[in-house]
Chains A and B, each alone.
Chain A
Amino acid sequence: AQSVAQPEDQVNVAEGNPLTVKCTYSVSGNPYLFWYVQYPNRGLQFLLKYITGDNLVKGSYGFEAEFNKSQTSFHLKKPSALVSDSALYFCAVRLNDYKLSFGAGTTVTVRA
């Protein structure tokens, strides 16, 4: 079955330090991969996506993600985390032409 896994329920980092949120995928064929962020009491917001092309994808709010086919990973990264990056992050993969499958989510806490 096609799916994504987020192996960490929580990630804690200090402000100014690099932030990485991990995602691995299991799909047949070429994956379409996405990252979303959810701030408290809000809906999910699109951050970035990989469909084809350059393995390093740049997105909103200074985030980027690296597609690694050999490791079947699509980790989200930010070089210098901000307290305002504290949120719930979801990785997602295409199931078919109209459905995504979401990971369980990773809560990021950035301490001042």
Chain B
Amino acid sequence: DAGITQSPRHKVTETGTPVTLRCHQTENHRYMYWYRQDPGHGLRLIHYSYGVKDTDKGEVSDGYSVSRSKTEDFLLTLESATSSQTSVYFCAISAGVGYGYTFGSGTRLTVV
């Protein structure tokens, strides 16, 4: 979607290795989010940010960390990837909940 990009789009990694996914926005929105999408579970919030260096945990944060050193970038790190973290990861941005979210195109991560 315009204004938000995720990289990489696809990644295969080995169990136990660290992985970092990047979300970049050009909208100057305050709020950024990382979700994972799995069959039967819908969308689950991993971490979110409400400003530079301000982040908080979502419902499935174990095994993940995030950083936001600039307004435009929100990084998601899998500290030591496990097979259970094979998923599609979506980043979203928002100017405030009344405006809804804008989602990125997703990163398909496979941990082997």
Binding site for B on A (CB under 8 A): 32, 34, 36, 41-46, 49, 51, 90, 94-100, 102-105
Contact = CB atoms under 8 A, between A and B. Distances in A.
Contacts of A96: 97
Interface in B14-58: 30-31, 33, 40-43, 45, 48, 50
B101 interface: yes
Interface in B48-103: 48, 50, 90, 92, 94, 96-98, 100-103
A46 B102 contact: yes
Contacts of B30: 98
Contacts of A102: 42-43
Contacts, number: 56
A43 B97 contact: no
Nearest to A97: B97
Nearest to A41: B106
A33 to B, nearest CB: 10
B105 interface: yes
A34 B94 contact: no
Nearest to B40: A104
Contacts of A42: 105-106
Contacts of A90: 42-43
A44 B42 contact: no
A96 B83 CA distance: 33
Contacts of A51: 98
Contacts of A49: 100
